[in-house]
Amino acid sequence: MVAVLADVVMPNSVLAAGIHGKNKRVNDRVSNQAGFMTVTSISLTTLREYEIGFIPAPLSVWQTLLGLFEATDGGASGFLMEDPTDNAAANGLMQPLLNGSAVGLIGAGYGVPTYQLMNRYTSLGSTRTRDRTIKRPKSTVVPVRAGLPVTIGAGAGNATFDQTTGIVTFVADASQNVTNISVGSSTNITLAAALPGMVVGGQLWLQGLTGADAAVVNNLNHTITNIVGAVYTVSTNTAGKTINPAGQGVKYPQPADSLAWTGGFYVPVQFQNDEIDWELVVAGPSAGRFIGVNNVQLVEVRE
C-alpha cells in the first residue's frame, strides 16, 4: 500500500498550470447480438484522476510541482491535494463503527464511541444516494450531534478526530460502575446510578467486566429492552456464561442522535509515472520564465 505523506499538501497555485480531472469507476459492459447491453459493477468505489499541465505556468509553479515530485520520490509516496470541484462536505454524515466495521445507520448514533466521516451524494430529484468515505479531512472539521456543534476536546460529550483516517471518537457522555450482572437469554445490568437520557431501544456500552466469558459483553454496545431505575435489561444472550460485575456501563451517542459534520477534505494522490516532462516556453530572466509541463498524471490513492 502506498504511504501518504500527510504533511505534503499540493498548493492550489499548481492549478495555474491547468488541470483536467476524471471520476472513474470500473464496469463490465457486454452487448449481445440483439443490441441489448448488460452492465456489471466491478468496483463500487469512485476514484479520481487528474492531469496537470495544459497551460504554460510561471517558473515558481514548476518549482512547486518539482518539490512535490522530489519529496515523494517520484510517486513512491502519496501526498494530499484539494479537488477544485469537490473539497467540502455537501452532506456530511457519520457512519458508526465497531471494531473497524460499519454498524447501525449512517447519520445516527449507535451507542459506540467511533464514527467514520462520510460524504453523501444525491441525484437531484431522486432519493438515490451514494456515500463516500472521507479519510483525509482538513483541520476545520466540526462534528455535529443532534444539530449542535460538538466541542473538540476531552470533556464529557466532546470528540476528537484523526486527520489520517477520518475517524471521530466521542468522549462518553456519562458512565457508571457495574454493581451486578444477571446472565440469561437477556441480561440485567445494574449500575451504581442511572445514566441520564437512556431509553428503551437505546444502546448501552459495556467495558471492563471480568470472568471467563466477559468478552461476550465487553467493548460492545447492547440494545436496551427495559429500564427500571439503574437496572438495564439488554437483549444480549448470556445464558450459561460466567461474567462478573466490574467495569462500567457507558453512554455514547444514541440512535435518536443525528450525527453529521461540516468542513473540508483532501484527496490522497500519487504521481502515476516516474517522470515528469517540461519545456521552457518563455525564456529570459527567472522572474519572467514560463514552463510548459506535459500532462503530469496524478491518481487517487485508495486507503
Instruction: Provide the residue range defining the domain that includes 78.
Output: 4-86+266-300
pLDDT tens digit sequence for 221-245: 999 999 999 999 999 999 999 999 9
Global pTM value:
0.93
pLDDT at 286 over 90: no
Same domain for 79 and 131, yes or no, is no
Same domain for 123 and 192, yes or no, is no
pLDDT tens digit sequence for 1-60: 899 999 999 999 999 899 999 999 999 999 999 989 999 999 889 999 999 988 999 999
pLDDT tens digit sequence for 55-107: 999 999 999 999 999 999 999 999 999 999 999 998 999 999 999 999 999 99
Same domain for 82 and 100, yes or no, is no
Same domain for 51 and 64, yes or no, is yes
pLDDT at 200 over 90: yes
Same domain for 156 and 108, yes or no, is yes
pLDDT tens digit sequence for 107-160: 999 999 999 999 999 998 899 999 999 999 999 999 999 999 999 999 999 999
pLDDT tens digit sequence for 170-194: 999 999 999 999 999 999 999 999 9
Same domain for 107 and 152, yes or no, is yes
Same domain for 168 and 182, yes or no, is no
3-state secondary structure the chain: CCCEEEEEECCHHHHHHCEEEEEECCEEEEECCCCCEEEEECCCCCEEEEEECCCCEEHHHHHHHHHHHHHCHHHCCEEEECCCCCCECCCEEEEEEECCEECCCCCECCCCCEEEEEEEEECCCCCCEEEEECCCECCCCEEEECCEECCECCCCCCEEECCCCCEEEECCCEEEEEEEEECCCCEEEEECCCCCCCCCCCEEEEECCECCCHHHCCCEEEEEEEEECCEEEECCCCCCCCCECCCEEEECCCCCCEEEEECEECEEEEECCCCCCEEEEECCCHHHCEEEECCEEEEECCC
Q: Are 189 and 206 in contact (CB under 8 A)?
A: yes
259 compared with 125, residue with greater pLDDT: 259
pLDDT of residue 35: 87
Same domain for 146 and 205, yes or no, is no
Q: The CATH number of the domain where 290 resides is what?
A: 3.30.200
Q: What is the total count of domains within the chain?
A: 3
Same domain for 66 and 121, yes or no, is no
pLDDT of residue 185: 98
Same domain for 210 and 230, yes or no, is yes
pLDDT of residue 1: 87
Q: The CATH number of the domain where 221 resides is what?
A: 2.40.30.180
